Chain A
């Protein structure tokens, strides 16, 4: 059974810092991995989607990497801003179930 874990559960950093969020998964038989942002009480906004054949994806200040063999992904946020404060969720799309399996998220606070 696929399990997705995110570390740390919460993170508080000053504005301008570069930071790394971690995601690990137990079953490497995945189609893709996706990072989402969720503001309090709101829906999910897709940030980056990495196909299983890819190593990384970049969008602006965000870079996500995928190491399928070790079951790990990282989301790198450069020059963090207070507007980046949100919960970041990773999710994998499994071969077996063909459904998204989510981690519990990292709650990020960037203070001025």
Chain B
């Protein structure tokens, strides 16, 4: 069984650019959640995708957007990058969207915005 994978591992961008981060869910999982973790902080929920539809969103501006594909992999897109977007971006997959479904986390993508 393959766990959650994320790519790329590290990324450096400049302010104003756009970035796409990718997540492959664990085998059999149809739900992906994205989190932003700033240095020294706990992860903050960005949004969740369940069967290709957005299923809940945290307190993040519209320039943070996402997609989920038929194979349940997912992308996080961030437009007009700001310095404060520098963080570790984590994705987590689960068997379903409900609270009884434990989330399994990937290794994260470290984004640095200069």
Listed in ascending order, the chain A residues whose CB lies under 8 Å from chain B are 4, 31-32, 34, 36, 41-46, 49, 89, 91, 93, 95, 97-105
Contacts and interface: CB of A to CB of B under 8 A. Distances in A.
Given A41-B110, A43-B90, A97-B56, A102 B42 contact: yes
Contact of B106 (A4, A43, A102): A43
A4 B107 contact: no
Nearest to B41: A104
A44 B100 CA distance: 19
B102 A99 contact: no
B62 interface: no
Contacts of A36: 105
30 contacts: A31-B99, A31-B100, A34-B102, A41-B88, A41-B110, A42-B108, A43-B4, A43-B6, A43-B90, A43-B105, A43-B108, A44-B43, A44-B90, A44-B92, A46-B102, A46-B104, A91-B42, A91-B43, A98-B56, A98-B98, A99-B48, A99-B56, A100-B35, A100-B43, A100-B45, A101-B45, A102-B42, A102-B43, A104-B40, A104-B41
A84 B106 CA distance: 20
Interface residues on B, range: 20 to 34
A32 to B, nearest CB: 7
B106 to A, nearest CB: 5
B56 A103 contact: no
Nearest to B10: A41
Given A36-B105, A44-B105, A104-B41, 7 more contacts: A43-B105, A44-B43, A44-B90, A91-B43, A99-B58, A102-B42, A105-B42
A19 to B, nearest CB: 20
8 cross-chain pairs, A with B, having the tightest CB-CB distances, nearest first: A102-B42, A31-B99, A44-B105, A43-B107, A43-B105, A99-B45, A43-B108, A104-B42
B44 interface: yes
Contacts of B40: 104
